[in-house]
A and B are shown apart, each in its own frame.
Chain A
Amino acid sequence: MDIRQEYLNAAYPQGEKKNLGGNIRAAFANPIAQIALVGVVLALVQFLALGGAISSAFAYALGNTLIYAIVAIGFCLLLGYSGLASLGTAGFIGLGSYVAFYLIEGMGAPYFVALLVTLAVSIAIGVIVGFISLRIEGIYLAIMTLALAEIIRSLLMVLKATIKINIKNIVLFGVNVNEKAVYLLIAATFVILMMLTSNLIRSPVGRAMLAMKDSTSASQAMGISLMKYRLLAFVISTIYAAMGGLLYMMYVRNMTTATSTLLTLSTSLNILGAVIIGGAKSLWGTTFGTFIIYGLQSMFLSKIQFFVDNPAFITMITGLLIIVVVMFFPGGFAQMLSSLRGWLRRKRVERRIRDYVDIQN
């Protein structure tokens, strides 16, 4: 056997005897299965909290973080796959929350009606932003979407100062639901959107978006319609953001427009930061980034007395973390993980080759 074949065998062992562990691992190599597994775990958290094994504050914070994660996946599709930067996320979230308020509180509509209207409104807004994105690009586009978010914010401030949804009015499948059920709804939405997105990015649409990101000119030459995919990217990300707003309103049920940080630039920046430090091209990375930015504080650090006394430290640590990650790992945590994995594999291969050489000698 020639040395090359030997090397390949050593590096990529084939035909290893498959045991039970191997089978399970193979089953979970499928991304859909992974997402479903995470969904089950997320749902379990709520049931454990009901049983008293986990504090309900933890579950509540998790639900809150998941809402931002939903927004972040949509943004990941926009930034990581289409290469379009937007700072209008906060405005789109606000849009969703106001639709939720007017339909659920004002008209007593059930969840699915609110969902449909949210979809319709966000498609309309997404198309508008998409058309803007055909005219301007890069940081200019980001600042224009910021202007759009400001328009939406001012509009909402004029319309209603404080919005509040009565918990009795939230109807799902014909029954009134409390926040614990809304948590399950959030988890379900997260899982469904995660599955859809992970399928989408591996479909021709996702590939076209990637091509568009790398070079608009080259992709146009290959027959990819810039207009179609930019509009699509913005529509999808707006839908996700508006759904985040809808779920936020159902979960938190209370917001003062003028003082709410949800509608300001900081939310857009935090979502952007979450996507970047998690890894713009990785859905799991993005989710992880959201947990770093939003979840770390509310779920874990709030238990430590030192941070309760000095909440400013958490903000500082988040800032430092973002700076360090972007400076040294431009691809975010996802890149960090994959380079670690690559290093381990390289070590393993080196060891196998050394063993092989030793045997030959």
Chain B
Amino acid sequence: MCVTALAAFAVTIIFRTSTTANFAQGAISAYGCYVVADLLNKRGIPVYLGVFAGVLVGIAIGVFIDLLVFRKGRHVNELGKQIITMGFVSLFFGGIPLVFGTPERIPFEAFYNTVKAGTSPNFVIPAFGGEIVITKHAVICLGITVVVLAVLFLLLKHSKWGLGVRATASSEFTAELMGIDTHVITAISWALACALGVLAAVMYAGGGTSISAAFMTTIQVNAFLACILGGFSTFYGPVIGAVLIPLAASCVGFLANFKGFYGISRWQMVIVYVLLLIAILIKPEGLFGKKTLKKV
């Protein structure tokens, strides 16, 4: 849920400033995650430094992509830009095995085990006559996500950079006329998005998932759907969408506890996606989106 929220925010910020859906989000995140994993496992660097380095790599990749490709490719139409990001997907999918060798592994097992060591990995809260089990990993992730997103939203709302982003998002051309350096704004957005992506990937992998070049694809698909559900026209919509989708999934899963709904957990994602489809058909601009009027 936290991972999807971060990824959804990353997708939105690029979509708003560069008018493209970044399909390479997952691949870039995976790349950063590999960097972190290598630093952790081979060099024995502490986790926090490792994540910091991974985020730096993400920033570097983001700025690199923006400077080298998107600044030059402004005349390329909207669809073309998406194809370019798709090209990056291939590039990273090919690059990751070349740079990091073995394609699949569980990188944070050691880290995960040290967190587990000594204390129980879970918090157990007695409630509703039963017990709710929450892993410490989930709590840490939730904490990081809330802090990061809170800081970002405050920056968006109150800083000069945030104003620049919002202006660029509503109209790049006008923003440029108003003296905003849109080049810098888009570069920062790319850097931010990629950094968030790396953070999300590390958090996801920290849960004990094995990583591969494509391990973020599911998260990315869900992030896209969250963006559509929440509406691209606001920054908070996608984040709420990202919370809603897993929530709906667990609600459907919860139904399986009742009689007569026993087999429903197999159909969990199908039901959630169908609900999503219906929601979009009823409100095409997203739950929090604004209607855009078209002039002829």
Contacts and interface: CB of A to CB of B under 8 A. Distances in A.
A139 interface: yes
A312 B97 CA distance: 7
Majority-rule SS of A interface residues? helix
B253 interface: no
A132 B87 contact: no
Interface stretch (A93-101, A166-174, A314-322): A314-322
Interface in A126-154: 132, 135-136, 138-140, 142-144, 146-148, 150-151, 154
Contacts of B232: 140
Interface stretch (A102-110, A235-243, A268-276): A268-276
A135 B284 CA distance: 7
Contact of A327 (B69, B224, B284): B69
Interface in B147-171: none
Nearest to A293: B90
A114 interface: no
A326 B73 contact: yes
B221 A312 contact: no
Contacts of A315: 90-91, 93-94
A233 B296 CA distance: 24
Interface string B7-32: 00000000100000101000000000
B280 interface: yes
Interface string A194-236: 0000000000000000000000010000000000000000000
Given A314-B94, A315-B93, A330 B76 contact: yes
Contacts, number: 135
B94 A312 contact: yes
A310 interface: yes
A150 B269 contact: yes
B29 to A, nearest CB: 15
Contacts of A322: 83-84, 86-87, 90
Interface size for chain A: under 10, 10 to 19, 20 to 34, or 35 or more residues?
A: 35 or more
Mostly helix, strand, loop or mixed at chain B's interface? helix
Contacts of A313: 94, 98
A297 to B, nearest CB: 11
B80 A276 contact: yes
Contact of B69 (A142, A150, A323): A323
Given A135-B284, A316-B95, A151 B83 contact: no
Nearest to B274: A151
B217 interface: yes
Contact of B86 (A132, A264, A272): A272
B221 A265 contact: yes
A234 B294 CA distance: 24
A144 B277 contact: yes
B11 to A, nearest CB: 10
A312 B98 contact: yes
Given A140-B284, A150-B273, A272 B91 contact: no
Contacts of B86: 269, 272-273, 322
Nearest to A151: B273
Contact of A272 (B83, B95, B227): B83
Nearest to B225: A147
Given A85-B79, A139-B82, A314-B94, 10 more contacts: A146-B224, A158-B267, A276-B79, A276-B83, A277-B83, A313-B98, A319-B87, A319-B93, A326-B83, A330-B76
Interface of B: 15, 21, 23, 69, 72-73, 75-80, 82-84, 86-98, 214, 217, 221, 224-225, 227-228, 232, 266-267, 269-270, 273-274, 276-277, 280-281, 284, 294, 296
21 contacts: A79-B79, A135-B280, A136-B280, A136-B284, A142-B21, A142-B82, A144-B277, A147-B225, A151-B270, A154-B267, A217-B296, A265-B217, A269-B86, A276-B83, A277-B83, A315-B91, A316-B91, A316-B98, A319-B92, A326-B87, A327-B84
Interface of A: 79, 85, 132, 135-136, 138-140, 142-144, 146-148, 150-151, 154-155, 158, 217, 264-266, 269, 272-273, 276-277, 310, 312-323, 326-327, 330
The 6 A-B residue pairs whose C-beta atoms are closest, nearest first, are A319-B90, A315-B94, A316-B94, A319-B91, A322-B87, A323-B87
